[in-house]
Protein backbone atom coordinates (compact mmCIF):
# COMPACT_ATOMS: atom_id res chain seq x y z
CA UNK A 1 0.00 0.00 0.00
CA UNK A 2 1.29 3.46 -0.83
CA UNK A 3 0.23 6.84 0.45
CA UNK A 4 0.06 10.08 -1.45
CA UNK A 5 1.87 13.00 0.23
CA UNK A 6 -0.43 15.36 2.01
CA UNK A 7 -0.91 18.59 0.05
CA UNK A 8 0.42 21.78 1.56
CA UNK A 9 -2.33 23.83 3.22
CA UNK A 10 -3.85 26.58 1.14
CA UNK A 11 -2.35 30.02 1.51
CA UNK A 12 -3.98 32.19 4.10
CA UNK A 13 -2.37 35.54 3.36
CA UNK A 14 -2.08 37.92 0.43
CA UNK A 15 0.65 39.97 2.13
CA UNK A 16 3.50 39.12 4.46
CA UNK A 17 4.49 41.14 7.53
CA UNK A 18 7.51 41.48 9.73
CA UNK A 19 7.14 44.30 12.26
CA UNK A 20 3.37 43.82 12.63
CA UNK A 21 3.29 40.04 13.05
CA UNK A 22 0.63 38.77 15.45
CA UNK A 23 -0.17 35.13 14.71
CA UNK A 24 1.99 32.14 15.57
CA UNK A 25 2.17 30.97 11.96
CA UNK A 26 4.01 34.19 11.07
CA UNK A 27 6.94 33.43 13.39
CA UNK A 28 9.83 31.05 12.91
CA UNK A 29 10.21 28.05 15.20
CA UNK A 30 13.20 29.52 17.04
CA UNK A 31 11.25 32.75 17.75
CA UNK A 32 8.31 30.77 19.09
CA UNK A 33 10.65 28.66 21.25
CA UNK A 34 12.22 31.77 22.76
CA UNK A 35 8.86 33.39 23.44
CA UNK A 36 7.82 30.17 25.19
CA UNK A 37 10.98 30.26 27.36
CA UNK A 38 10.14 33.84 28.38
CA UNK A 39 6.54 32.88 29.18
CA UNK A 40 7.76 30.03 31.39
CA UNK A 41 10.23 32.34 33.17
CA UNK A 42 7.29 34.43 34.41
CA UNK A 43 6.06 31.40 36.38
CA UNK A 44 9.37 30.86 38.18
CA UNK A 45 10.44 32.45 41.45
CA UNK A 46 14.18 32.40 40.68
CA UNK A 47 14.87 33.24 37.04
CA UNK A 48 17.84 32.58 34.78
CA UNK A 49 17.19 33.47 31.15
CA UNK A 50 19.09 34.71 28.11
CA UNK A 51 17.84 37.42 25.82
CA UNK A 52 18.59 40.62 24.00
CA UNK A 53 19.06 43.87 25.94
CA UNK A 54 17.17 46.98 24.87
CA UNK A 55 17.59 50.19 26.82
CA UNK A 56 14.63 52.12 28.14
CA UNK A 57 14.76 54.22 31.34
CA UNK A 58 17.44 53.39 33.94
CA UNK A 59 17.37 51.59 36.30
CA UNK A 60 14.97 49.64 34.06
CA UNK A 61 15.84 47.84 30.82
CA UNK A 62 14.06 45.37 28.57
CA UNK A 63 15.09 41.78 27.90
CA UNK A 64 13.74 40.61 24.54
CA UNK A 65 13.43 37.00 23.30
CA UNK A 66 15.26 37.76 20.02
CA UNK A 67 16.43 40.71 17.95
CA UNK A 68 13.41 40.25 15.68
CA UNK A 69 10.41 40.56 18.01
CA UNK A 70 9.51 42.27 21.30
CA UNK A 71 6.73 39.76 22.03
CA UNK A 72 7.18 38.28 25.48
CA UNK A 73 9.56 41.05 26.63
CA UNK A 74 10.52 41.24 30.30
CA UNK A 75 11.01 44.48 32.24
CA UNK A 76 14.18 44.21 34.32
CA UNK A 77 15.48 46.43 37.09
CA UNK A 78 19.11 46.98 38.04
CA UNK A 79 19.62 47.85 41.71
CA UNK A 80 22.61 49.50 43.41
CA UNK A 81 25.95 47.73 43.02
CA UNK A 82 25.26 46.27 39.57
CA UNK A 83 26.27 47.90 36.29
CA UNK A 84 23.61 48.78 33.74
CA UNK A 85 23.88 46.25 30.83
CA UNK A 86 25.27 47.11 27.40
CA UNK A 87 22.85 48.06 24.65
CA UNK A 88 22.23 45.44 21.92
CA UNK A 89 23.95 42.72 23.93
CA UNK A 90 22.84 39.14 24.43
CA UNK A 91 22.99 38.58 28.18
CA UNK A 92 22.08 35.91 30.69
CA UNK A 93 20.03 37.52 33.43
CA UNK A 94 19.54 36.08 36.91
CA UNK A 95 17.08 37.52 39.38
CA UNK A 96 13.77 37.37 41.22
CA UNK A 97 10.33 38.77 40.50
CA UNK A 98 9.07 41.75 42.45
CA UNK A 99 6.02 43.96 42.13
CA UNK A 100 6.88 47.60 41.40
CA UNK A 101 4.70 50.66 41.03
CA UNK A 102 5.03 51.89 37.43
CA UNK A 103 2.84 54.67 36.06
CA UNK A 104 0.63 54.36 39.16
CA UNK A 105 0.03 50.65 38.51
CA UNK A 106 1.43 47.48 40.05
CA UNK A 107 3.65 45.70 37.53
CA UNK A 108 5.75 42.53 37.71
CA UNK A 109 9.45 43.39 37.34
CA UNK A 110 12.52 41.12 37.31
CA UNK A 111 15.00 42.48 39.88
CA UNK A 112 18.43 41.53 38.55
CA UNK A 113 21.08 39.96 40.77
CA UNK A 114 23.59 39.09 38.01
CA UNK A 115 24.25 39.97 34.36
CA UNK A 116 26.59 37.91 32.16
CA UNK A 117 27.38 38.78 28.55
CA UNK A 118 26.78 35.73 26.41
CA UNK A 119 25.65 34.49 23.04
CA UNK A 120 22.13 33.63 21.99
CA UNK A 121 21.17 30.47 23.84
CA UNK A 122 18.55 28.98 21.53
CA UNK A 123 21.05 26.93 19.54
CA UNK A 124 21.69 26.83 15.82
CA UNK A 125 19.05 28.79 13.93
CA UNK A 126 17.55 26.61 11.24
CA UNK A 127 14.81 27.39 8.72
CA UNK A 128 11.44 25.66 9.12
CA UNK A 129 11.62 24.23 5.57
CA UNK A 130 14.39 22.75 3.44
CA UNK A 131 16.30 24.66 0.77
CA UNK A 132 14.63 22.50 -1.90
CA UNK A 133 11.16 23.40 -0.58
CA UNK A 134 12.18 27.06 -0.48
CA UNK A 135 13.17 26.98 -4.17
CA UNK A 136 10.10 24.97 -5.20
CA UNK A 137 7.67 27.36 -3.49
CA UNK A 138 9.48 30.45 -4.76
CA UNK A 139 9.12 29.39 -8.40
CA UNK A 140 5.93 27.32 -8.32
CA UNK A 141 4.01 29.81 -10.50
CA UNK A 142 6.65 29.66 -13.23
CA UNK A 143 8.03 26.91 -15.43
CA UNK A 144 10.89 26.23 -17.86
CA UNK A 145 13.44 28.05 -15.69
CA UNK A 146 16.88 26.44 -15.59
CA UNK A 147 18.04 24.95 -12.30
CA UNK A 148 21.13 27.16 -12.14
CA UNK A 149 18.96 30.24 -12.69
CA UNK A 150 16.65 29.20 -9.84
CA UNK A 151 19.62 28.54 -7.58
CA UNK A 152 21.21 31.95 -8.16
CA UNK A 153 17.96 33.91 -7.75
CA UNK A 154 17.12 31.95 -4.59
CA UNK A 155 20.48 32.75 -3.04
CA UNK A 156 20.02 36.43 -3.79
CA UNK A 157 17.02 36.29 -1.41
CA UNK A 158 19.12 34.57 1.24
CA UNK A 159 21.90 37.09 0.53
CA UNK A 160 25.45 36.92 1.88
CA UNK A 161 26.89 38.70 4.92
CA UNK A 162 29.79 41.12 4.77
CA UNK A 163 32.88 38.95 4.40
CA UNK A 164 35.53 41.64 3.98
CA UNK A 165 35.57 44.96 5.78
CA UNK A 166 35.65 46.87 2.48
CA UNK A 167 32.62 45.16 0.89
CA UNK A 168 28.96 45.39 1.92
CA UNK A 169 27.18 42.02 1.94
CA UNK A 170 24.53 40.99 -0.57
CA UNK A 171 24.44 40.50 -4.33
CA UNK A 172 24.05 42.59 -7.47
CA UNK A 173 22.07 40.81 -10.19
CA UNK A 174 21.61 41.89 -13.80
CA UNK A 175 18.44 40.61 -15.48
CA UNK A 176 17.63 40.28 -19.18
CA UNK A 177 14.50 38.66 -20.61
CA UNK A 178 13.89 37.04 -23.98
CA UNK A 179 10.45 35.87 -22.93
CA UNK A 180 7.07 37.51 -23.54
CA UNK A 181 6.60 41.24 -23.14
CA UNK A 182 6.42 42.28 -19.48
CA UNK A 183 7.38 38.75 -18.37
CA UNK A 184 10.37 40.05 -16.42
CA UNK A 185 8.23 42.62 -14.57
CA UNK A 186 5.64 39.98 -13.67
CA UNK A 187 8.36 37.55 -12.63
CA UNK A 188 10.03 40.01 -10.25
CA UNK A 189 6.69 41.16 -8.83
CA UNK A 190 5.76 37.57 -8.06
CA UNK A 191 9.05 36.97 -6.28
CA UNK A 192 9.01 40.22 -4.32
CA UNK A 193 5.55 39.47 -2.94
CA UNK A 194 7.24 36.96 -0.65
CA UNK A 195 9.34 39.66 1.02
CA UNK A 196 7.78 41.76 3.81
CA UNK A 197 8.10 45.42 2.85
CA UNK A 198 9.67 46.27 6.22
CA UNK A 199 12.47 43.72 5.63
CA UNK A 200 14.09 46.12 3.20
CA UNK A 201 13.27 49.52 4.68
CA UNK A 202 16.48 49.42 6.74
CA UNK A 203 14.56 50.85 9.70
CA UNK A 204 14.17 49.71 13.28
CA UNK A 205 10.86 48.71 14.84
CA UNK A 206 9.60 51.09 17.49
CA UNK A 207 7.26 49.44 19.97
CA UNK A 208 5.40 50.83 23.01
CA UNK A 209 6.20 49.95 26.61
CA UNK A 210 3.07 51.32 28.34
CA UNK A 211 4.22 50.17 31.80
CA UNK A 212 7.06 52.74 31.59
CA UNK A 213 5.27 55.21 29.32
CA UNK A 214 7.97 55.02 26.65
CA UNK A 215 8.82 53.49 23.27
CA UNK A 216 11.77 51.15 22.69
CA UNK A 217 13.42 49.91 19.50
CA UNK A 218 14.52 46.68 17.91
CA UNK A 219 17.69 46.83 15.79
CA UNK A 220 17.41 47.40 12.05
CA UNK A 221 17.01 44.33 9.91
CA UNK A 222 19.92 45.70 7.87
CA UNK A 223 18.80 44.79 4.34
CA UNK A 224 18.68 47.40 1.61
CA UNK A 225 16.91 46.49 -1.66
CA UNK A 226 17.30 48.45 -4.92
CA UNK A 227 15.94 48.04 -8.46
CA UNK A 228 17.09 50.10 -11.46
CA UNK A 229 17.37 50.13 -15.25
CA UNK A 230 20.92 49.19 -16.23
CA UNK A 231 20.89 51.76 -19.05
CA UNK A 232 19.97 54.55 -16.65
CA UNK A 233 21.14 53.81 -13.12
CA UNK A 234 20.16 56.55 -10.61
CA UNK A 235 23.07 58.15 -8.75
CA UNK A 236 21.80 56.80 -5.43
CA UNK A 237 21.95 53.21 -6.71
CA UNK A 238 25.15 53.74 -8.72
CA UNK A 239 26.93 54.81 -5.54
CA UNK A 240 26.10 51.43 -3.98
CA UNK A 241 27.53 49.35 -6.84
CA UNK A 242 31.05 49.56 -5.40
CA UNK A 243 29.70 48.04 -2.15
CA UNK A 244 31.60 50.40 0.10
CA UNK A 245 30.14 49.89 3.60
CA UNK A 246 27.58 52.54 4.49
CA UNK A 247 24.65 52.27 6.87
CA UNK A 248 23.42 48.78 6.09
CA UNK A 249 24.74 45.26 6.60
CA UNK A 250 23.54 43.76 3.31
CA UNK A 251 22.42 45.35 0.06
CA UNK A 252 20.54 43.71 -2.82
CA UNK A 253 20.73 45.44 -6.21
CA UNK A 254 18.71 44.30 -9.22
CA UNK A 255 19.57 45.86 -12.59
CA UNK A 256 17.13 45.33 -15.46
CA UNK A 257 18.03 45.31 -19.14
CA UNK A 258 14.80 46.36 -20.83
CA UNK A 259 16.01 46.04 -24.43
CA UNK A 260 16.04 42.57 -25.98
CA UNK A 261 19.56 41.77 -27.11
CA UNK A 262 23.01 40.76 -25.89
CA UNK A 263 24.46 42.05 -22.63
CA UNK A 264 26.94 44.90 -22.86
CA UNK A 265 29.69 43.35 -20.74
CA UNK A 266 31.53 46.67 -20.52
CA UNK A 267 28.64 48.61 -18.96
CA UNK A 268 29.34 49.66 -15.37
CA UNK A 269 26.29 47.75 -14.13
CA UNK A 270 27.55 44.53 -15.74
CA UNK A 271 31.10 45.00 -14.46
CA UNK A 272 29.80 45.49 -10.92
CA UNK A 273 27.16 42.75 -11.02
CA UNK A 274 27.87 39.51 -9.21
CA UNK A 275 26.12 37.50 -11.89
CA UNK A 276 23.80 37.99 -14.89
CA UNK A 277 20.42 36.24 -15.09
CA UNK A 278 18.55 35.48 -18.33
CA UNK A 279 14.85 34.59 -18.61
CA UNK A 280 14.68 32.56 -21.80
CA UNK A 281 11.88 32.81 -24.36
CA UNK A 282 10.16 29.59 -23.22
CA UNK A 283 9.84 30.78 -19.58
CA UNK A 284 6.18 31.30 -18.73
CA UNK A 285 3.82 31.92 -15.88
CA UNK A 286 1.58 28.94 -15.18
CA UNK A 287 -1.05 30.67 -13.06
CA UNK A 288 -2.02 33.99 -11.55
CA UNK A 289 -2.31 34.06 -7.77
CA UNK A 290 -1.80 36.85 -5.29
CA UNK A 291 -1.57 34.58 -2.25
CA UNK A 292 1.82 34.03 -0.66
CA UNK A 293 3.35 31.27 1.43
CA UNK A 294 4.59 32.55 4.79
CA UNK A 295 7.28 29.86 4.91
CA UNK A 296 9.34 31.85 2.39
CA UNK A 297 9.67 34.97 4.55
CA UNK A 298 10.38 32.78 7.59
CA UNK A 299 13.10 30.95 5.66
CA UNK A 300 14.72 34.27 4.69
CA UNK A 301 14.52 35.55 8.27
CA UNK A 302 16.05 32.40 9.78
CA UNK A 303 18.91 32.23 7.29
CA UNK A 304 19.70 35.93 7.70
CA UNK A 305 20.36 35.47 11.40
CA UNK A 306 23.26 33.08 10.93
CA UNK A 307 26.20 32.44 8.64
CA UNK A 308 28.93 29.79 8.44
CA UNK A 309 32.39 30.73 9.66
CA UNK A 310 35.23 30.70 7.13
CA UNK A 311 38.88 29.98 7.89
CA UNK A 312 41.59 32.00 6.18
CA UNK A 313 42.94 28.83 4.53
CA UNK A 314 39.54 28.00 3.03
CA UNK A 315 39.07 31.60 1.91
CA UNK A 316 42.45 31.73 0.18
CA UNK A 317 41.93 28.32 -1.42
CA UNK A 318 38.51 29.42 -2.63
CA UNK A 319 39.70 32.66 -4.23
CA UNK A 320 42.48 30.78 -6.08
CA UNK A 321 40.12 27.98 -7.14
CA UNK A 322 37.52 30.46 -8.38
CA UNK A 323 40.15 32.49 -10.23
CA UNK A 324 41.33 29.37 -12.06
CA UNK A 325 37.78 28.42 -13.06
CA UNK A 326 37.05 31.92 -14.38
CA UNK A 327 40.34 31.98 -16.31
CA UNK A 328 39.46 28.66 -17.97
CA UNK A 329 36.01 29.99 -18.88
CA UNK A 330 37.53 33.17 -20.35
CA UNK A 331 39.83 31.05 -22.52
CA UNK A 332 36.77 29.26 -23.95
CA UNK A 333 34.80 32.35 -25.04
CA UNK A 334 36.01 35.26 -27.18
CA UNK A 335 33.57 37.63 -25.47
CA UNK A 336 35.24 36.93 -22.12
CA UNK A 337 38.85 36.52 -23.28
CA UNK A 338 39.86 40.15 -22.73
CA UNK A 339 37.53 40.99 -19.87
CA UNK A 340 39.38 39.52 -16.87
CA UNK A 341 41.43 42.59 -15.95
CA UNK A 342 40.90 45.19 -13.26
CA UNK A 343 37.38 46.71 -13.33
CA UNK A 344 36.21 44.41 -16.14
CA UNK A 345 33.27 42.00 -16.25
CA UNK A 346 35.29 38.96 -15.12
CA UNK A 347 37.74 40.89 -12.93
CA UNK A 348 40.07 38.24 -11.47
CA UNK A 349 41.05 40.48 -8.55
CA UNK A 350 40.42 39.52 -4.93
CA UNK A 351 37.46 41.94 -4.89
CA UNK A 352 36.17 40.80 -8.28
CA UNK A 353 34.31 37.72 -9.50
CA UNK A 354 36.30 35.20 -7.38
CA UNK A 355 34.82 36.98 -4.34
CA UNK A 356 31.35 36.86 -5.93
CA UNK A 357 31.61 33.06 -6.08
CA UNK A 358 32.93 32.94 -2.51
CA UNK A 359 29.94 34.96 -1.28
CA UNK A 360 27.61 32.66 -3.22
CA UNK A 361 29.15 29.71 -1.33
CA UNK A 362 28.52 31.45 2.02
CA UNK A 363 24.93 32.14 0.98
CA UNK A 364 24.44 28.46 0.14
CA UNK A 365 25.98 27.62 3.52
CA UNK A 366 23.44 29.90 5.16
CA UNK A 367 20.58 28.11 3.39
CA UNK A 368 21.80 24.75 4.61
CA UNK A 369 22.49 25.90 8.21
CA UNK A 370 26.19 25.07 8.02
CA UNK A 371 28.44 25.96 10.95
CA UNK A 372 31.60 26.22 8.86
CA UNK A 373 32.31 26.61 5.17
CA UNK A 374 34.52 24.03 3.48
CA UNK A 375 36.23 23.92 0.10
CA UNK A 376 33.44 21.57 -1.06
CA UNK A 377 30.83 24.34 -0.80
CA UNK A 378 33.08 26.78 -2.65
CA UNK A 379 33.72 24.28 -5.45
CA UNK A 380 29.97 23.59 -5.68
CA UNK A 381 29.24 27.33 -5.87
CA UNK A 382 31.84 27.78 -8.62
CA UNK A 383 30.16 25.00 -10.67
CA UNK A 384 26.78 26.76 -10.43
CA UNK A 385 28.37 30.11 -11.23
CA UNK A 386 30.33 28.91 -14.27
CA UNK A 387 27.36 26.90 -15.59
CA UNK A 388 25.20 30.03 -15.45
CA UNK A 389 27.75 32.03 -17.45
CA UNK A 390 27.92 29.21 -20.01
CA UNK A 391 24.10 29.35 -20.28
CA UNK A 392 24.26 33.10 -20.75
CA UNK A 393 26.83 32.71 -23.52
CA UNK A 394 24.62 30.11 -25.25
CA UNK A 395 21.93 32.76 -25.55
CA UNK A 396 24.39 35.54 -26.37
CA UNK A 397 25.60 33.54 -29.36
CA UNK A 398 22.11 33.73 -30.85
CA UNK A 399 22.36 37.53 -30.82
CA UNK A 400 26.05 37.80 -31.71
CA UNK A 401 28.87 38.85 -29.42
CA UNK A 402 29.32 42.45 -28.52
CA UNK A 403 32.59 44.09 -29.49
CA UNK A 404 35.72 42.58 -27.97
CA UNK A 405 37.85 45.34 -26.40
CA UNK A 406 41.20 45.96 -28.02
CA UNK A 407 44.38 45.77 -25.98
CA UNK A 408 45.86 49.13 -25.03
CA UNK A 409 49.37 49.98 -26.21
CA UNK A 410 51.97 49.64 -23.44
CA UNK A 411 55.02 51.81 -22.88
CA UNK A 412 58.42 50.09 -22.72
CA UNK A 413 58.43 50.24 -18.89
CA UNK A 414 54.85 48.97 -18.67
CA UNK A 415 55.71 46.06 -20.96
CA UNK A 416 58.74 45.22 -18.80
CA UNK A 417 56.61 45.24 -15.63
CA UNK A 418 53.87 43.21 -17.31
CA UNK A 419 56.39 40.61 -18.51
CA UNK A 420 57.93 40.41 -15.04
CA UNK A 421 54.49 39.85 -13.43
CA UNK A 422 53.62 37.25 -16.03
CA UNK A 423 56.66 35.25 -14.93
CA UNK A 424 56.38 36.22 -11.22
CA UNK A 425 52.69 36.62 -10.33
CA UNK A 426 51.23 38.01 -7.10
CA UNK A 427 53.90 40.64 -6.41
CA UNK A 428 53.71 43.93 -4.49
CA UNK A 429 54.95 47.20 -5.97
CA UNK A 430 57.87 47.16 -3.53
CA UNK A 431 58.88 43.64 -4.57
CA UNK A 432 58.68 44.60 -8.24
CA UNK A 433 60.82 47.69 -7.59
CA UNK A 434 63.46 45.71 -5.65
CA UNK A 435 63.68 42.88 -8.17
CA UNK A 436 63.61 45.01 -11.32
CA UNK A 437 65.74 47.89 -10.09
CA UNK A 438 63.12 50.47 -11.08
CA UNK A 439 62.38 53.31 -8.63
CA UNK A 440 59.33 52.62 -6.46
CA UNK A 441 57.59 55.85 -7.52
CA UNK A 442 57.87 54.80 -11.18
CA UNK A 443 56.56 51.33 -10.40
CA UNK A 444 53.51 52.84 -8.68
CA UNK A 445 52.84 55.13 -11.64
CA UNK A 446 53.03 52.31 -14.17
CA UNK A 447 51.01 49.94 -11.98
CA UNK A 448 48.18 52.50 -11.96
CA UNK A 449 48.32 52.72 -15.75
CA UNK A 450 48.32 48.95 -16.18
CA UNK A 451 45.34 48.63 -13.82
CA UNK A 452 43.47 51.36 -15.68
CA UNK A 453 44.04 49.53 -18.98
CA UNK A 454 43.00 46.21 -17.38
CA UNK A 455 46.33 44.57 -18.29
CA UNK A 456 46.77 43.43 -14.66
CA UNK A 457 44.53 42.87 -11.68
CA UNK A 458 44.89 43.07 -7.91
CA UNK A 459 45.38 39.42 -6.91
CA UNK A 460 45.63 40.33 -3.23
CA UNK A 461 45.72 43.51 -1.16
CA UNK A 462 48.13 45.72 -3.18
CA UNK A 463 49.55 42.64 -4.92
CA UNK A 464 49.36 42.23 -8.68
CA UNK A 465 49.18 39.60 -11.41
CA UNK A 466 48.78 39.75 -15.20
CA UNK A 467 45.77 39.07 -17.38
CA UNK A 468 46.86 36.08 -19.45
CA UNK A 469 44.79 37.04 -22.49
CA UNK A 470 46.35 40.51 -22.75
What CATH code is assigned to 29-117?
2.40.50.140
**Quick check: helix, strand or coil at residue 439?**
coil
Q: Which CATH number fits domain 412-466: 3.30.70, 1.20.140, 2.40.400, 1.10.10?
A: 1.10.10
Does domain 131-208+219-399 bear CATH number 1.25.40.340?
Answer: no
**Other CB atoms closer than 10 Å to residue 91's CB: what's the count?**
21
CA angle 285, 356, 132 (to 5 degrees): 40
Angstrom CA distances, 439 to 31, 154, 330, 433, 446, stand at: 61, 50, 34, 6, 11
Angstrom CA distances, 3 to 6, 48, 136, stand at: 9, 46, 21
CA distance linking residue 75 with residue 81, whole number of Å: 19
pTM of the model: 0.79
Q: What is the pLDDT along the chain (470 residues), one digit of tens a residue?
A: 333 444 444 445 556 777 777 777 788 888 888 899 999 999 998 999 999 899 888 899 999 998 888 889 999 999 878 889 888 888 999 999 999 888 888 889 999 999 998 876 555 678 888 999 999 998 988 888 999 999 999 999 999 987 765 688 899 999 988 776 678 888 888 888 888 777 766 667 788 888 888 888 887 777 888 889 999 999 999 999 998 877 667 889 999 987 777 788 999 999 999 999 988 878 888 877 667 778 888 898 888 878 888 998 999 999 999 999 999 999 888 888 889 998 999 999 988 999 999 999 999 999 998 889 999 999 999 999 999 999 888 877 766 555 555 556 778 788 888 888 888 989 999 999 888 888 898 889 889 888 888 888 888 888 999 887 65
Fold matches, 131-208+219-399 and 412-466: no
CA distance linking residue 67 with residue 97, whole number of Å: 23
What is the 3-class SS of 347-402, one letter each residue? CCCCCCHHHHHHHHHHHHHHHCCCCECCHHHHHHHHHHHHHHHHHHHHHHHHHCCC
| Boundaries of every domain in the chain | 29-117, 131-208+219-399, 412-466
Amino acid sequence: MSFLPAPRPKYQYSTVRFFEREHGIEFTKYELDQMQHFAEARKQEHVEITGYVAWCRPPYFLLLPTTTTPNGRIICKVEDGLNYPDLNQYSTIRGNWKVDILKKKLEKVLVVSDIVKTKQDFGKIKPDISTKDFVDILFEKWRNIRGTTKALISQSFVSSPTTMTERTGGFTLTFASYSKKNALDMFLRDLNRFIPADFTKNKSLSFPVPELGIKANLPKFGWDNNVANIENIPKKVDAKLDRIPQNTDECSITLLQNTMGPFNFDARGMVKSDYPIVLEEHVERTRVSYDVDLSISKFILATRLSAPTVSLDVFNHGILHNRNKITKLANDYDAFSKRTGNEQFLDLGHKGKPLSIHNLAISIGRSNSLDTLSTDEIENASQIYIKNLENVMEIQELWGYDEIPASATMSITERRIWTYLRDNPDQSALEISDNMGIPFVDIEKNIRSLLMNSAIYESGFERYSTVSQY
